[in-house]
Amino acid sequence: MAFHLSRRDLLEKCAAAGLLLVAPPLTIAEIAPRLEDGVLTPRRPTPPNDLGPFFKRGAPRAGKLAPEGAPGLPLSVSGQVFDTRGERLSDAVVEVWHASHSGVYDNQGFNYRGRPPLDGNRYGFESVMPGHYPDRVCQHVHYMASAPGHKPLITQLYFATDPVFEGDPDKNFGKDPLVHSRELVRPVLISGDPGSPRAIVSFDLVLERG
Amino acid sequence: MTPTHSFEAEEKVSALAIAPGGSEIAALLKNGKLQISSTAGKLLRSTAAGEAKAYAIACTADGRRIVAGCGKSLHVFDRSTGERLRSWTAQRGDIAAIACSRDGSLLASTDGYEAVKLWKGDGSPIRTLGSGIEVLGIALSPSGDRVAEGASDTKLRLFASASGALQHSLEFPMACPVLAFSPDGRMLAAGSVDGSLSLLDAVSGEAKGILGRHAVPAGAAAFSADGRRLACTGASINPWGAEAELKVWDLATKREAATPIGVSFLNAVGFAGAHPIVASARDKTISVWEP
């Protein structure tokens, strides 16, 4: 349900009308964000996407997916796992896999494959930016997420910096026939030293109950 | 290894098959044509096949028919004349894989997303069956009584054609898109994305173990007509990955012979008697190895 006033405006209006008293040293600015702690925010489910032919069973629990010294732009991806009611799913299992910098999947071993452990409902992994390979247009990371009482989610993450999108993913996300949703194309933050930049991406997962 | 023959098709190749007997190559081209050549490259017959998006072709084991999936439609051709006998709309999406019974009286098709569809050879629909989970490869037993399906969830499923009932489901480490029944229908070869080639008892569903392994995903597999030998190629999908090989096993001794065929994504395998043949296509060039 949408409200017209922000939390802070609501508190200030109530305080001005004598309907709210805030005991010092607390201030309205400090307490406004915590006003709705414990209230769930409904979320849209993450759009699904193809599983693809390169899923491999038995991936290890791992947060570092690339072998030592692997070529490619270092990549950090993290996010939270929710359900559509907004519940934080700390019992979720997240599995990811992707191609190497040169667009090759490790089908004989488990490089670039793993089940990053969760910290609460937050997952994160480090790897390298996957390369392009024939038969797929865009760089991508495959995801499989599951949690008790929820439908499994199979999806893919794409990168707004992919040259295929020509700097305009809103217009060009459909250049890959498998990319059905703009939501799966995530912005990329480049951070670090000039000599060792790193790509940082945030990608929350929202599972449907079922 | 240098190919035995190398020749140019009139347009880029999108699907390849080796006819039983190993003397002819059937190719679907991106100009919508079906081209039948000798293995040495002599053009024998050429006919309009359908749409340019043609990714699936198979020859019936009795050598009489060629079946092609072009766009959403199936087409059946007389192999000896190249004449198109019938066509019908088969799937919602572009056909990704097809399979035939020995005489072509039963056909199976998939676009990779819908459930597998079974057809009579005259185009009449029989039923849908299968998992409906991103199907990568299908095969029909020679008699047509069973359908094998390899899906992205790494499961290989066997279904009874008559009822559509699931008979067996086996889980592999990775998906098995390459499937081939032995000529007597008793064995099923399953080639996986991880490069392994496994044998299964096609009746009991019992896994008989891994016969061998490619360094790249399996590409195509075929039994010899007497069922004594099995050939399987790898499919190197990336020029920066490992190269492909043709591997041939004597099924009695399990002895393996390997022939390198370079970077080869689109390939087909067959036998001329006891001798394996592999054909590989890159753009317009078709290369044939007869080691």
**Residue A165, SS3 per DSSP:** helix
Q: What is the pLDDT of residue A7?
A: 73
Provide the token pair at B107.
């056909």
CA distances from B129 to A25, B2, B92, B170, B272 (A): 69, 43, 15, 17, 34
**Which pLDDT belongs to residue A207?**
98
d(C-alpha A133, C-alpha A127), whole Å: 17
Spatial separation of the C-alpha atoms in residues A18 and B136, rounded to whole Å: 68
Distance CA B270, CA B64 (A): 16
A52 touches chain B (CB under 8 A): yes
SS3 category, A32: helix
User: Tokens 């499961």 belong to which residue?
Assistant: B155
pLDDT for the residue numbered A28: 83
Percent of chain A topping pLDDT 70? 94
Is the separation of the CB atoms in B157 and B138 below 8 Å? Answer: no
Q: Which residue of B has its CA nearest to A57?
A: B173
**Is the predicted ipTM greater than 0.85, yes or no?**
yes
Residues of B in contact with A135 (CB under 8 A): 237
Q: Which residues pair with B45 in a beta bridge?
A: B36
Query: Nearest-CA neighbor of B117 among B138, B142, B143?
Result: B138
| pLDDT tens, residue by residue, B244-279 | 999 999 999 999 999 999 888 899 999 999 999 999
Q: Considering the entire predicted model, what is its pTM?
A: 0.90
Task: Quote the CA–CA distance of A19 and A29 in Å, as a whole number.
Answer: 17
- Using DSSP bridges, classify how beta strands B244-250 and B256-262 pair: parallel, antiparallel or unpaired: antiparallel
Three-state SS letters, A66-126: CCCCCCCCEEEEEEEEEECCCCECCCCEEEEECCCCCCCCCCCCCCCEEECCCECCEEEEE
Nearest chain A residue to B113, by CA: A50
Longest dimension (CA), chain B: 48
- CB A153 within 8 Å of CB A207: yes
Given this model, what pLDDT does residue A29 score? 78
Quick one: pLDDT band at residue A21, thresholds 50, 70, 90?
confident
Q: Cβ contacts (< 8 Å) between B265 and chain A: which residues?
A: 134
pLDDT at A10 over 50: yes
- Which candidate in A55, A98, A107 is best for mutational testing of the B interface (most B CBs within 10 A)? A107
Out of A52, A56, A135, the one facing B237 most closely (by C-beta) is A135
Q: How far is the C-alpha of B138 from the C-alpha of B149, rounded, in Å?
A: 5
* A53 in contact with chain B, both atoms CB, cutoff 8 A: yes
Among the listed residues A139, A119, A122, the one whose alpha carbon sits nearest the alpha carbon of residue A185: A139
**Interchain pair A53, B237: CB under 8 A:** no
Cα separation, B104 vs A96, whole angstroms: 42
Tell me the per-residue pLDDT of B142-190, one tens digit each, with 9 for 90 and over: 999 999 999 999 999 999 999 999 999 999 999 999 999 999 999 999 9
pLDDT for B49: 87
Mean pLDDT of chain B: 95
Question: pLDDT: is A10 or B79 the higher one?
Answer: B79
CB contact set of B268 (below 8 Å; sequence gap of 6+) = B16, B17, B18, B25, B220, B278, B279
Q: To 5 degrees, how large is the angle CA B136–CA B142–CA B148? A: 25
Task: Give the number of other CB atoms < 10 A from CB of residue B86.
Answer: 11
Token reading at A191: 């951070």
Q: Does A104 touch chain B (CB under 8 A)?
A: yes
**A135–chain B Cβ distance below 8 A for any pair:** yes
Q: Are A55 and B194 inside 8 Å of each other by CB?
A: no
Residues of A in contact with B173 (CB under 8 A): 56-58
Interface test with B, best of A56, A102, A139, A154 (most B CBs within 10 A): A56
Q: Cα separation of A38 and B97, whole Å?
A: 51
- Spatial distance between the Cα atoms of B111 and B116, rounded to a whole number of angstroms: 8
Contacts of B195 in chain A (CB under 8 A): 107-108
**Inter-chain CB proximity B153 and A135 less than 8 Å:** no
Q: Do B147 and B138 meet the contact criterion of CB atoms below 8 Å apart?
A: yes
B17 sits in which H/E element: strand B13-18
pLDDT < 70 stretches in chain B: 239-241
CB contact under 8 A, B152 and A55: yes
Inter-chain CB proximity A51 and B238 less than 8 Å: no
Distance from the Cα of A134 to chain B's closest Cα (Å) equals: 6
- Please give the full DSSP string across B138-164, using - where no structure is assigned: EEE-TTSSEEEEEETTSEEEEEETTT-
pLDDT given at position B239: 66
Q: Which residues of A touch B136 (CB under 8 A)?
A: 53
Q: What phi, psi does B37 have (nearest 5°)?
A: -125, 160
Q: What is the pLDDT of residue B240?
A: 65
A45 in contact with chain B, both atoms CB, cutoff 8 A: no
Closest CA of chain A from B237, distance in Å: 7
**pLDDT confidence of residue A1:** 47
CA torsion B36-B38-B39-B43 (nearest 10°) is -70
